[in-house]
Amino acid sequence: MKLPKPWILAKKELFTLVNSPLFYGICLFFTLFCSIWLYYLQRYFTMNMASLRPYFAAFPVAFILVIPMITMKSWAEERKLGSIELLLTMPFSEWDLVLGKFTAALTVVLLLLGLTLPVPLSILPLGRFDLGVLAGEYAGVLLLGSAASALGLLLSSLSKNQAGAFLGSTAVLLISMLINQLALTVSLPPFLAAGVNFLSLSFHFDSFSKGIIDTRDLAFFVITTVMFLFFNTRVILFRKWS
């Protein structure tokens, strides 16, 4: 059976990433950060509550560093090595290339989420947890990771090297994740506060962190992901003809 073109490129990306120390550093950092956040910073066992919402509050913060580490090499390294010209001469469309990179990044995000499962599984016997809420929380994390990965790939395509891609993605994700805090700490006019919240990825994740699947937030993540991927294809098309 012939594999779709994006998956062929995704396999190559995953093979390269898994065979680098960076991948294992990402896995270690992500699992340790989320666990320390829950058990040490949030002092979970002193809360006396059957909810994992404090645990999922760590994911947007962790993604500020983790997503740039995943995506920084995707396009920036291709430009640095000059291999992007070779990619553009292959029988792949711009969407094939972008979806291949995106599939690889999202697969890594899924692997990271799989590594976090032991924490909720170990806590479930200690209380009456709602599995539907837990599923909604993980769905929200996946959607958040999807939008953040698409944004990271776009910024990588605009960068000349890994360092620039990492710093640029980290700065933009930091702003997009935490900008909603501005509406909470500063007295803003209602229309301006609504605009600030709308631009915040973590604001749209908040309903998922409660186990609520709001169709407005679902649509936001889907549209945002597709929009970033589309802009990425335009950047690649520009590189192709420039």
The predicted-structure confidence for 77-131, as pLDDT tens digits, reads as follows 777 777 777 777 777 788 888 999 999 999 999 999 999 988 888 887 777 777 8
Single pTM value for the model: 0.90
Give the whole-angstrom CA distance, residue 152 versus residue 161.
13
Q: Which domain holds residue 141?
A: 5-241
- Domain tally, the chain: 1
- Read off the DSSP letter of residue 38: I
Model confidence over 128-175: pLDDT tens digits?
777 888 888 899 999 999 999 999 999 998 888 888 889 999 999 999
Answer for the pair 58, 65: CB distance below 8 angstroms, yes or no. Answer: no
Model confidence over 196-228: pLDDT tens digits?
888 888 888 888 888 788 889 999 999 999 999
Looking at residue 47, its pLDDT comes to 67
Give which of 155, 15, 171, 138 is closest to 71, Cα–Cα: 155
Give the whole-angstrom CA distance, residue 141 versus residue 3.
28
Q: How far is CA 221 from the centre of its chain?
A: 11
User: What is the band of 45 on the pLDDT scale with cuts at 50, 70, 90?
Assistant: low
Answer for the pair 221, 143: CB distance below 8 angstroms, yes or no. Answer: yes
